Homo-oligomer: A and B are copies of this chain.
Amino acid sequence: MQTELTSSSSFGALGAQTVTIDLAERSYPIVIGTDLLPAAALYAHLPKAMAALIVTNTMVAPLYAQALQGALAGQYAQVHTVVLPDGEEHKTWQTLNLIFDALLQHGCDRKTVLFALGGGVVGDMTGFAAASYMRGVPFVQVPTTLLAQVDSSVGGKTAINHPLGKNMIGAFYQPQLVVCDLATLDTLAPRELSAGLAEIIKYGPIADMAFMDWLEANMDALLARDRTALAHAVRRSCEIKAWVVGQDERESGLRAILNFGHTFGHAIEAGMGYGAWLHGEGVGAGMVMATELSRRLGLVDGAFAARLQALVQRAGLPVRGPVLDAQDNAGRYLELMRVDKKAEGGEIRFVVIDGPGQAAVRAAPDALVREVIDACCT
C-alpha cells in the first residue's frame, strides 16, 4: 500500500506531530505528542461556544479531568463534566442518556463542544451523543488508552451496544480534533496496553509489512512504554487508518479491512459477556483465527501465520479463542458472527489476509470456518 505522509507542523510548537484525516469539509487533525492534554493552545482553534462538556469515566476522571478543565477554562464560559461508569458493559443507552441529561440540565445549546476524555467506550458514547444531541454538536476526542489513540477515536465511528449485538446503534460522525497525549499511557494497566497493541499489530498484515517488521524489532520498547517507540507506532497506525478512512468514510468497501480479526473477536466478546475480554484481547485471538482461515483458504502460508501468532503472543495477548459452548462451540461462534454488522443476508463476511500486507473481505464455507474454530479454541 502506498501511503502519503500527511504530517504537518502546525502543532510543532508543542513538539507534537500531526496526521490529517482528509474528508473535505469534515477533515480534522490527529495531534500526537507528550503532555498535550493540559495545553490550552491546542484547543484555541475549536468552534466558539458558551459551554463545553467533558465526558469521562470513574477511572479517568481523577487522573485527567481537572487538567483538561483547566486547559478549557479560558475558552469556554462554562466547562461541565459528566462522569460515566467504567467498562464496555456500560456502553448502553442508559449510560448514554446520562450525557443527554447533563447537557439538558446545564441548558447546553447546539454550539456546545463535547470532549471525550477516556478510552474507546467513552469515545464511542461521546461521539454518538454529539452526533445526536440537537441533531449534532461538535466534539473532540482526547483518548487516554493506546487502543483509542490508534483506532476507536480516529475515523468517526460512534456507537452503543444493544443486548443482541455490539455497536449496533450509532453514527458516522467526525470529531473536530483528536489529541493523543502519550503521557496518559503511563497510567494504563498492562492488560490495556496489550489490548491497544492488538489494534497496532493489525495495521501490518493488512497494509504495511515494513511496519510489521518494525513492530517485531520494537515490541520490547513498546511494552516498556518508550515514548519514541510509542509515538512512531501511534503515528504510523493513524496514517494507515487515515488513508483508509479518507477513501471510504462510511465503510462501503475498503474500510472493512480495518476489521481484521474483529468478526471472530466480536463473537468472543459477545459470547463471554461484554467486559470479560477486552476488545483488543478479542481482536488478538481473532487475528490469529482470521489468519488461520486465510491459510486454509490458501491465501497465506504457515510461516506467515506462525509469525503473526508469535507477534500477538509477544504483545501479551491471547492467541487462542475461548470455548463459548461446550456442546457446539463452532455453532455458537457462527451464530454470534451472523449478527455482525458486516454480515449480509445471513452470510458472514470475513476480513482475510490476501497475501502479506494486503487484506480482502470475503465469505467462507461454514465447514471451513468450523475447522478453524475447532483448531483455534481452547
Interface string of A333-372 (1 = CB under 8 A from B): 0000011010111100000000000000000000000000
Q: Does any Cβ of B come within 8 Å of A168's Cβ? A: yes
Q: Which residue of B lies closest to A159 (CB)?
A: B135
Q: Which residue of B lies closest to A171 (CB)?
A: B135
Tell me if B170 and A104 are in contact (CB < 8 A): no
Which residues on the B side are within 8 Å of A136 (C-beta)?
171-172, 250
CB distance from A354 to the nearest CB of B (A): 23
Tell me if B100 and A134 are in contact (CB < 8 A): no
Tell me if B344 and A135 are in contact (CB < 8 A): no
Which residues on the B side are within 8 Å of A109 (C-beta)?
341, 343-346
Q: Which residue of B lies closest to A165 (CB)?
A: B104
Question: A339–B97 Cα gap in the complex (Å)?
Answer: 17
Among A101, A131, A169, A344: residue with most chain B CB under 10 A: A169
Please name 17 pairs of A and B residues whose Cβ atoms are closer than 8 Å in the assembled complex, sorted by A: A50-B346, A100-B168, A104-B165, A104-B168, A105-B164, A107-B338, A107-B346, A109-B344, A109-B346, A132-B171, A133-B169, A135-B159, A135-B172, A135-B250, A136-B171, A136-B172, A171-B171
Which residues on the B side are within 8 Å of A105 (C-beta)?
164
Tell me if B110 and A341 are in contact (CB < 8 A): yes
Interface string of A104-124 (1 = CB under 8 A from B): 110101110000000000000
Q: Does any Cβ of B come within 8 Å of A320's Cβ? A: no
Q: How many copies does the complex hold?
A: 2
Identify A134's interface contact among B93, B110, B132, B168, CB under 8 A: B168
Q: Does any Cβ of B come within 8 Å of A91's Cβ? A: no
CB distance from A113 to the nearest CB of B (A): 13
Which residues on the B side are within 8 Å of A110 (C-beta)?
341, 344
Q: Which residue of B lies closest to A128 (CB)?
A: B132
Which residues on the B side are within 8 Å of A171 (C-beta)?
131-132, 135-136, 171
CB distance from A109 to the nearest CB of B (A): 5
Q: Which residue of B lies closest to A109 (CB)?
A: B344
Q: Does any Cβ of B come within 8 Å of A162's Cβ? A: yes
Which residues on the B side are within 8 Å of A343 (C-beta)?
109
Question: A346–B108 Cα gap in the complex (Å)?
Answer: 8
CB distance from A247 to the nearest CB of B (A): 16
Question: A185–B93 Cα gap in the complex (Å)?
Answer: 36
Tell me if A164 and B104 are in contact (CB < 8 A): yes
Tell me if A104 and B162 are in contact (CB < 8 A): yes
Knowing A50-B345, A168-B133, A170-B135, the reply to whether A104 touches B339 (Cβ < 8 A) is yes
Interface string of A247-268 (1 = CB under 8 A from B): 0001100000000000000000
Tell me if A157 and B135 are in contact (CB < 8 A): yes
Knowing A133-B168, A136-B172, A171-B171, the reply to whether A97 touches B104 (Cβ < 8 A) is no
Interface string of A147-180 (1 = CB under 8 A from B): 0000000000111001011001111100000000
CB distance from A126 to the nearest CB of B (A): 14
Which residues on the B side are within 8 Å of A133 (C-beta)?
168-169
Closest 5 CB pairs of A and B: A104-B164, A50-B345, A134-B341, A109-B344, A135-B170
- Using a CB-CB cutoff of 8 Å, which residues 127-142 of chain A contact chain B? 131-136
Which residues on the B side are within 8 Å of A172 (C-beta)?
135-136
